[in-house]
Structure 1
Amino acid sequence: MAAATIAALLPIAASAAAPKGVWTNPRKTVRVQFQPCGDAICGKVIAATPQAEADAQRGGGAPLVGAMLFQDFRQNETGLWNGSVLVPDLGQTITGTIRQVDANTLVGEGCVFANIGCRTQTWTRVK
């Protein structure tokens, strides 16, 4: 019985809603609007502190506000969202995952190269 219950819940976990809305990074220096982009989801920077903008400029990138930080995220069978993440202060785009833990918590992970230089951030819903 328990196995049948768990099996019945797996498709629900894998089809969890996309993390839409406005989210902020741990230091509350950047706000990103997650929204559908085609059959994926993307996250565009809608606000950034002057320090966050300066850090992005040092990375050689374009202005941070308006940048598509999270690109082409698609949900896999385990409920994780996989896509590309722009790391403005490094001037690089890396592969990453996002996972919505609850209604107000989003965990993002990415690695610069083959599990080297990996970083995890917990983002919080603003609205």
Structure 2
Amino acid sequence: MMATAIAVATAFALPVGASAAPTASPLGTWLNPYGSVAVRTGACGDRLCGWIVWASAEAQADAREGGVTGLIGTQLLENYRPTSGGWVGTVFVPDMGRRFYSKIEPVGSDGLRVKGCILHGLVCRSQLWHRVAQPPHA
């Protein structure tokens, strides 16, 4: 298990073909741009996943309206694999109760652009997440 985690951490340290410029590893704890959800990323088998570790009362209420009763612990990022320039997988949008194709791209040393798309990538929305040492406290 530890060997798998180390292999995943190594694979996700830099995207394929990355330059020597510092880029964000997707491993860690991330806060969305609204400060309403914190996600901790880690290995899930040989892929990268992310689980909600904190959410504001408003985010939890929005998720309940979308049919998600227990937002904390929900897997938000699913089965991401490294590609050139980032990682691809599936993002779950709790307030919609749906999953979408997604790409994560590093932004500097402490940022990730998380993009979710529909219609085979014709319509996309993205957010810039920032690394945090710990999730906010309620």
Instruction: Flag whether TM exceeds 0.5 (same fold).
Output: yes
| CA-CA distance at 1:79 after TM superposition | 2.8
Q: Greater RCO between the two (CA within 8 Å, min separation 6)?
A: 2
Counterpart for residue 108 of structure 2: 102
1:38 to 45, 67, 73: 45
* Counterpart amino acid of residue 96 in structure 2: L
Q: Is the 8 A contact 1:59 1:90 kept in 2?
A: yes
Q: Could you tell me which runs of 5 or more consecutive residues in structure 1 were left unpaired when the two chains were aligned.
A: 1-9
| CA-CA distance at 1:11 after TM superposition | 5.2
* Counterpart amino acid of residue 33 in structure 2: P
Query: Greater strand share, 1 or 2?
Result: 1
Larger Rg: 1
Counterparts of 1:11 and 1:90 in 2: how far apart (Å)?
32
- Does 2:27 match 1:26? no
Q: Is the 8 A contact 2:104 2:115 kept in 1?
A: yes
Counterpart for residue 77 of structure 2: 70
* Counterpart amino acid of residue 35 in structure 2: K
- After superposition, the Cα gap between the structure-2 partners of 1:112 and 1:12, relative to the gap in structure 1 and judged at 3 Å, is closer
1:90 to 93, 96, 102: 96
- Equivalent runs, 1:49-68 vs 2, <5 Å: 49-68=56-75
Give me the identity figure in percent: 38
Q: Is the 8 A contact 1:69 1:86 kept in 2?
A: yes
Counterpart for residue 18 of structure 2: 13
2:119 to 103, 113, 118: 113
Counterparts of 2:63 and 2:93 in 1: how far apart (Å)?
8
* Counterpart amino acid of residue 18 in structure 2: A
| CA-CA distance at 1:115 after TM superposition | 3.3
Q: How many residues align?
A: 116
* Counterpart amino acid of residue 105 in structure 1: G
Counterparts of 1:64 and 1:57 in 2: how far apart (Å)?
8
TM-score, normalised by the number of residues in structure 1: 0.83
Runs of 4+ in 1 over 4 A off after TM superposition: none
| CA-CA distance at 1:12 after TM superposition | 4.3
Q: Is the 8 A contact 1:18 1:41 kept in 2?
A: no
User: Considering only aligned residues, what root-mean-square deviation do their CA atoms show, in Å?
Assistant: 2.0
Q: Could you tell me which runs of 5 or more consecutive residues in structure 2 were left unpaired when the two chains were aligned.
A: 1-14, 134-138
* Counterpart amino acid of residue 56 in structure 1: A
